[in-house]
Structure 1
Amino acid sequence: MLATVVYLPCMKQHFDHVRDWVFDLDNTLYPPSARLFDQMEVLMTDWIVQNIGVERHDAHDMRDGYLRDYGTTLAGLLHHHGIEPDPFLDHAHELDLSALVPAPDLHAAIAALPGRKIVYTNGTRKHAHRVIAARGLQGLFDAVYGIEDADYLSKPSKDAFGRVFHIGDVDTAHGAMFEDSLENLEVPHALGMRTVWIGPTAEDEPDFVDFATNDLTGFLMRVNAGLAGE
């Protein structure tokens, strides 16, 4: 890892080449305190009960077991039950977004970045656009990609990244990836991207994390100041 807290000249050194800024969505463009995943877990369990035909406690275990064994609950449902993914995803993302509030400082910080701004989420594009609107970040992003754009493969799969980055013509040698899920940064780092972990900082962060912060807005403000030579 390069640094958790850095001086502005270091920001210029490490981000001056970046032209494609790729952001995860959930727990990255809004704080984990919104607890949207709590809602999503309930909705996924509801769908499994209604469509797979198991008792609720079994549906809960199935949801968590597939997540553990396949990386996502969807992947397990596809493998074992051959479901159509869109109805499941639509139901799982019927979320109450009232906990999300506009973030004008984050808007300004992202807008000031030089180059393209892209969102890539393991959720759906529809979900991404709803969250972006709730956070007041409309009009910022040149492209928004969801799990459907990766043929329902999810990060951290190398194939998922490859499909989305191919569609988006992402130049990984001149790219940066912002993620709250640590495991989702390993492939981007291997592809040559600058990686930023949005989460609790620790001293034992792996080598594929270049920077770590629990304040995306503040971090981007420092990046912009460093790039401007301030």
Structure 2
Amino acid sequence: MLDHIENWIFDLDNTLYPASANLFAQIDVHMGAFIQDLLACDAAEAHRIQKSLFHSHGMTLPGLMAEHGVDPHDFLARVHDVDVRVVTPHPELAALIARLPGRKFVFTNADAAYANRVLAQLGLSESFDALYDIHALGYVPKPQAPAYAGLCAAHAIDPRKSVFVEDMARNLVPAKAIGMTTVWIDNGSEQGPGDARDHIDYTITEVSAWLTEVLAAQETA
């Protein structure tokens, strides 16, 4: 059922590496410290503000930009100053992605500097045709519809010939709306989508195992 796919689009965090690496724990610490310094508040208040902005703007950064005039480059440099060595290299995944027919993309709400560090740690630096990051998104993150339109326009992607693999089920809703085949990674990194599953075509637990199945089916078809 994936023979029509020409574009393979992957989220980065908790998608190309296991959620157990928990890079977000490090990012959360830096984000909280940034907000404490910015607004001269304690850790509890910084956490409340962070989560409020995440829910109201889809991501903490656009909220800080809109409400507090934060420079995105300063913010991202600080919060992404993490130790990516907690991520285990995955040469098998690199080999699988190399065998996929068509183009391959990383579509992330993170910035390219951080994403490239993670990809290098995984051994995936040469695996993708392009990386579409938060700067390219104009700080309008997934799951807002313009993020998906921008990706498709920038790289001449036909969404009907594309598959999007993502650990956050809500980020698959706009992808499905424009015709993408959607794959949700149910790996514990977020609460499940509940009963609303019409936007999910495939549910998997790990990318490399799924790609192994996909390639085996294509090669025996």
Q: Tell me the TM-score normalised to structure 1 length.
A: 0.90
Pairing partner for 1:44 from 19, 24, 31: 31
1:133 is matched with which residue? Answer: 120
Instruction: Determine if the alignment matches structure 1 residue 180 to structure 2 residue 167.
Output: yes
Pairing partner for 2:141 from 134, 150, 154: 154
Structure 1 residue 46, shift from structure 2 partner: 0.8
How do 1:1-230 residues align onto structure 2 when only pairs under 5 Å count? 14-200=1-187, 204=195, 206-229=197-220
Moved more, 118-127 or 56-65: 56-65
- What is the DSSP-based 3-state SS (H/G/I as helix, E as strand, rest coil) of the residue aligned with 1:148? coil
Deviations 1:108-145 (A, max 9, x none): 11111000010010000111111100001121100011
**Counterpart code for 2:205:** N
Classify 1:53/1:122 alpha carbon distance in 2 versus 1 (closer, same or farther; 3 Å).
Answer: same
Structure 1 residue 196, shift from structure 2 partner: 0.4
Classify 1:39/1:203 alpha carbon distance in 2 versus 1 (closer, same or farther; 3 Å).
Answer: closer
Deviations 1:187-206 (A, max 9, x none): 11111111100114888461
Mapped to 1, the partners of 2:25 and 2:185 lie a distance apart of 19
- What is the DSSP-based 3-state SS (H/G/I as helix, E as strand, rest coil) of the residue aligned with 2:135? helix
**Counterpart code for 2:181:** R
- What is the DSSP-based 3-state SS (H/G/I as helix, E as strand, rest coil) of the residue aligned with 2:86? coil
**Counterpart code for 1:89:** L
Q: Tell me the TM-score normalised to structure 2 length.
A: 0.93
Higher relative contact order (CA 8 A, sep 6+): 1
Moved more, 159-168 or 220-229: 159-168
Structure 1 residue 68, shift from structure 2 partner: 2.1
What is the number of equivalent residue pairs in this alignment?
217
Q: Percent identity?
A: 37
**Counterpart code for 2:53:** Y
Deviations 1:29-62 (A, max 9, x none): 0000001111111101111112233233221211
C-alpha RMSD of matched pairs (Å): 1.5
Mapped to 1, the partners of 2:193 and 2:116 lie a distance apart of 32
Runs of 4 or more, structure 1, over 3 Å off, are: 200-205
Classify 1:63/1:25 alpha carbon distance in 2 versus 1 (closer, same or farther; 3 Å).
Answer: same
